[in-house]
Amino acid sequence: MPKINPIQENTNLIKKARSASYWLFGSSVAIQLISWAITVFVARILSPDDYGLFGMAALLTSFLVMFNELGLGPAVIQKKT
């Protein structure tokens, strides 16, 4: 097995990390732009009252998702009765 130069291994790791961070940044920007576009589209097609109702439903949904991600499910499953 050929020996790998530690400096070369470090350089490859840095290149991979830089590439991964570019992809992560790009995907985050794309997701945000798509989200804004959908919000503007929905705001244009709904009346102000309906858009307010939509906003309240979206807020409730985001809170439910946040509580779901707290890990209560695995804690309940692991608790002995």
Q: For 27-45, write each residue's pLDDT tens digit.
A: 999 999 999 999 899 999 9
Domain extent, residue 69, equals 47-81
Same domain (yes/no): 40, 2: yes
Q: For residues 7 and 71, what is the distance between their CA atoms, to the nearest angstrom?
A: 41
Same domain (yes/no): 2, 23: yes
Q: 0.85 exceeded by the pTM? A: no
CB 42 within 8 A of CB 54: yes
Q: For residues 79 and 81, what is the distance between their CA atoms, to the nearest angstrom?
A: 6
Same domain (yes/no): 37, 67: no
Which band of pLDDT confidence, cut at 50, 70 and 90, is reported for residue 67? confident
CB 43 within 8 A of CB 51: yes
Same domain (yes/no): 33, 11: yes
**Total number of domains constituting the chain:** 2
Same domain (yes/no): 69, 31: no
Q: For residues 11 and 2, what is the distance between their CA atoms, to the nearest angstrom?
A: 18
Same domain (yes/no): 40, 55: no
